[in-house]
Amino acid sequence: MANNLKSTVRLTHRNPKRPIKGLPASVELADDATVEDAKILIARQAGVKDFNRIGLYDAVSKETLKNRKARVRDEAGVAKTAELVVKDLGPQIAWRTVYLVEYFGPILFHLLIPLIRPYIYVVAPFAYKDEIETPLTRVQWLLFGLFHLHYLKREYETAFVHKFSANTMPARNIVRNSAFYWLIGGLLCALDVYAPNSLAARDALSPLDCVGLALYAAGEAGNWAVHRHLASLRRPGGTERAIPNCVGSSLVTSPNYMFEVVAWTGVILISRSWTVVVFICAGTYFMRAWSRDKERALRNAFGDRYKKKRYTMLPGLI
């Protein structure tokens, strides 16, 4: 039976200097209305075509209401003040599209640089005059495969495995988000790894390369297993949280990040490239913050039912 109980919630602008034209002073929300329901209703009444543009905030804490499936009446600030703070977030883009675009950059550059190699390494600042007669070595071809395997796996997971708690993000952020992968993981790493004088420009595999290959395989397999497990914890279209119980979860909060670092450590050992070191160090900086946010969220959501982790990403370090 549908819930016919309704309550009036006042609406105020988060940014009075850039108000939403047509925003009503208040809306009538059903007792069981979710944050997403409220966005849809507000967008309809304000004449905003894409409800994902509507950002809702707690009137007391000023924090965004992230869980789109949470009931509005269960939000503490809303219950206390009967008020929602509203902001137009601007044009939106689906999170799934964002990740597909991000990971396409490295795939593109790690294809492009080997193809145009005879034409770029014979000019400044490279100026390797014999480049046309210097083909990629076996180790460079191995790295070519490892880079593509990693990012094709990422594209597959984005398209078919991951379940996103948020529908969209501001479209303007895609350039910032993609720059890290396109410019560092893609262009910079490819230019160094496939260069004629690269430390990867060798044919024989050393014991260190074999160790790197083993780390890469273990890291990618572990990362894949964790991503599959995390996806299984959420229903399609759901935003619910659950306590992870998979390989590595007894050690750290985010074992997927741990295995990511393991895999890239393997690439570092094989490539000996400073660019790969820069890439994974920068990535670790971001993953460190995300893993700590996840630990905080799990503690808040499950309290004593959740076994708190001392390390959120790398055992003994982070």
CATH number at residue 199: 1.20.120
Residue, of 3 and 21, whose pLDDT is higher = 21
Q: What is the mean pLDDT of residues 240-261?
A: 95
23-32 LR contacts (CB < 8 Å, sep 24+): 23/86, 29/72, 29/73, 30/3, 30/4, 30/5, 30/6, 31/3, 31/5, 31/6, 31/7, 31/73, 32/3, 32/71, 32/73
CATH number of the CATH domain containing 42: 3.10.20.90
* 107 assigned to some structural domain: yes
In which domain, by residue range, is 37 found?
Answer: 6-90
For the cut 80, the answer to whether the pLDDT of residue 153 exceeds it is yes
Last residue in a domain, options 73, 90, 107: 90
Mean pLDDT over 199-216 rounds to 97
- Sorting pLDDT into bands at 50, 70 and 90, what band is 136? very high
Across the range 27-31, mean pLDDT stands at: 93
pLDDT tens, position by position, 171-193? 988 998 899 999 999 999 999 99
User: Model-level pTM greater than 0.75?
Assistant: yes
Mean pLDDT on 26-36: 93
Average pLDDT over residues 85-98: 94
CA distance 149 to 145: 6
Residue with the larger pLDDT of the pair 235 and 228:
228
Give me the residues paired with residue 306 across strands. Answer: none
